[in-house]
């Protein structure tokens, strides 16, 4: 095994081009488990810890450019206002020690259907900035997950940053597991209200071969909210609408039975989380709307 230690982003890209089989290592919280248990014996490890740029974030007008290696702890501490869904999801990852090392770049690299960042990214709307010596491209998050633990990166590409839409409304993240800390999701659900475009986006984790959005459910809810004038009148969402939304979210799942839960349980739980997160976010939207009216 060789340990490659690029000191800059350019050096890292050159190393990855020269050794496409090299395994990047950021926080190491996925990679080292595989090496410790002999599940993986890469020819090259490509250490990304020396590249400061990957640990920085920038808050722009509409989006946050989140360096690939920014640890979850920093997201929780510094980006709660801009990225509430991702901050909530980050808080549910493992333990403080893991959150101090692991980040979204590694979560995307592993692309596990159970990765907690994915539902939040899908719901908020995001693009993955991938780069190689051949050039840079932005991969829409909807096209990023290509199969079980597979992603759209080419062999010579590295993730430099993730561009995530800043929240323009309430966001929620919910996760089912056996306890609060240190738990891989049985299934997870992210929901974001986007009042500026009057749309709702979702993300489902651990209930299909890849993280997915519940598109039919989103379309149904967008139409129902529009029709009922809900965005303007701020009324409570009709229970029948919430119920239908929940059912459509459950229907968007394509889960399996495994040690953590059965397919039926996952479908059921996703429906419950969909209804709850919708209620929570809508309550908070109504609260803010009322507040703004009061002030104006």
Ligand X SMILES: Cc1cc2nc3c(=O)[nH]c(=O)nc-3n(C[C@H](O)[C@H](O)[C@H](O)COP(=O)(O)OP(=O)(O)OC[C@H]3O[C@@H](n4cnc5c(N)ncnc54)[C@H](O)[C@@H]3O)c2cc1C
Q: At closest approach, how far in Å is the CB of 35 from other proteins?
A: 5
Q: Which is nearer to ligand X, 18 or 62 (CB)?
A: 18
User: Residue 14 is inside which H or E element, if any?
Assistant: helix 9-18
Q: At closest approach, how far in Å is the CB of 220 from ligand X?
A: 28
d(CA 111, CA 268): 24
Q: At closest approach, how far in Å is the CB of 165 from ligand X?
A: 20
d(CA 136, CA 44): 23
Is residue 48 involved in binding ligand X (CB under 6 A)? yes
Q: Which is nearer to other proteins, 3 or 233 (CB)?
A: 3
DSSP characters for 56-115? -EEE-SSEEEEETT-BHHHHHHH-TTT-HHHHHHHHTSS-HHHHTT-BHHHHHHHT-TT-
d(CA 132, CA 158): 6
Q: Which is nearer to ligand X, 251 or 256 (CB)?
A: 256
Contact window for other proteins (CB under 8 A) among 39-47, 153-161, 226-234, 240-248? 39-47
Q: Which is nearer to ligand X, 153 or 241 (CB)?
A: 153
Instruction: Tell the residue number behind the tokens 């909210």, with chain if given.
Output: 225
Pick the binder of ligand X from 30, 47, 142, 244 (CB under 6 A). Answer: 30
At residue 234's C-alpha, the angle toward residues 230 and 237, to 5°, is: 60
C-alpha radius of gyration, the chain, whole number: 20
Q: At closest approach, how far in Å is the CB of 110 from ligand X?
A: 4
Q: Which is nearer to ligand X, 68 or 237 (CB)?
A: 68
Q: Which of other proteins, ligand X, none does residue 96 bind to, with CB < 5 to 8 Å depending on kind?
A: other proteins
Binding marks (x or -) toward ligand X, 80..119, rule CB under 6 A?
Answer: -------------xx---x--xxx-xxx-xx----xx---
B/e letters for 197-227, b = 16+ CB within 10 Å, e = fewer, are eebbbbbbbbbbebbbbbeebbebbbebbee
Residue 91 neighbours by CB distance under 10 Å: 16
Binding marks (x or -) toward ligand X, 56..85, rule CB under 6 A?
Answer: ------------x-----------------
Across 154-248, where does the E strand assignment appear? 158-165, 171-176, 187-194, 199-205
Q: Which is nearer to other proteins, 47 or 244 (CB)?
A: 47
Contact indicator for 186, 176 with CB cutoff of 8 Å = yes
Residues that bind other proteins (CB under 8 A): 1-3, 5, 25, 27-29, 31-33, 35-37, 41-42, 45, 47, 49, 94-98, 100-101, 180-182
What residues make contact with ligand X under the rule CB under 6 A? Answer: 23-31, 33, 48, 68, 93-94, 98, 101-103, 105-107, 109-110, 115-116, 158-159, 182-184
């Amino acid at each position: 095994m060789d340990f490659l230690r690029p000191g800059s982003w350019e050096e890292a890209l050159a190393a990855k081009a020269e050794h496409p089989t090299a395994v990047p290592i950021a926080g190491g919280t996925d990679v080292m488990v595989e090496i410790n248990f002999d599940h993986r014996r890469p020819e090259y490890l490509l250490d990304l810890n020396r590249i400061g740029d990957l640990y920085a974030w920038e808050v722009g007008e509409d989006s946050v450019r989140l360096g690939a290696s920014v640890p979850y702890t920093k997201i929780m501490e510094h980006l709660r206002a801009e990225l509430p869904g991702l901050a909530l999801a980050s808080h549910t990852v493992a333990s403080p020690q893991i959150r101090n090392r692991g980040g979204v770049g590694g979560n995307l690299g592993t692309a596990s259907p159970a990765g907690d960042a994915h539902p939040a990214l899908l719901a908020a709307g995001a693009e993955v900035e991938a780069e190689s010596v051949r050039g840079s491209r932005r991969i829409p998050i909807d096209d990023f997950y290509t199969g079980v633990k597979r992603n759209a990166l080419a062999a010579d590409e590295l993730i430099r940053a993730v561009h995530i839409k800043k929240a323009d409304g309430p966001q929620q993240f919910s996760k089912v597991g056996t306890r609060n800390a240190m738990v891989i999701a049985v299934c997870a659900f992210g929901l974001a209200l986007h009042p500026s475009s009057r749309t709702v986006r979702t993300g489902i984790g651990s209930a299909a071969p890849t993280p997915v959005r519940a598109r039919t459910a989103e379309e149904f809810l967008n139409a129902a909210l529009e029709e009922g004038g809900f965005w303007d009148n701020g009324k409570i969402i009709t229970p029948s609408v919430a119920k239908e939304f929940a059912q459509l979210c459950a229907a968007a799942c394509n889960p399996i039975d495994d040690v953590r839960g059965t397919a039926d349980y996952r479908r059921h739980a996703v429906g419950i989380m969909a209804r709850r997160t919708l209620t929570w976010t809508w309550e908070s939207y109504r609260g803010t709307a009322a507040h703004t009216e009061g002030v104006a």
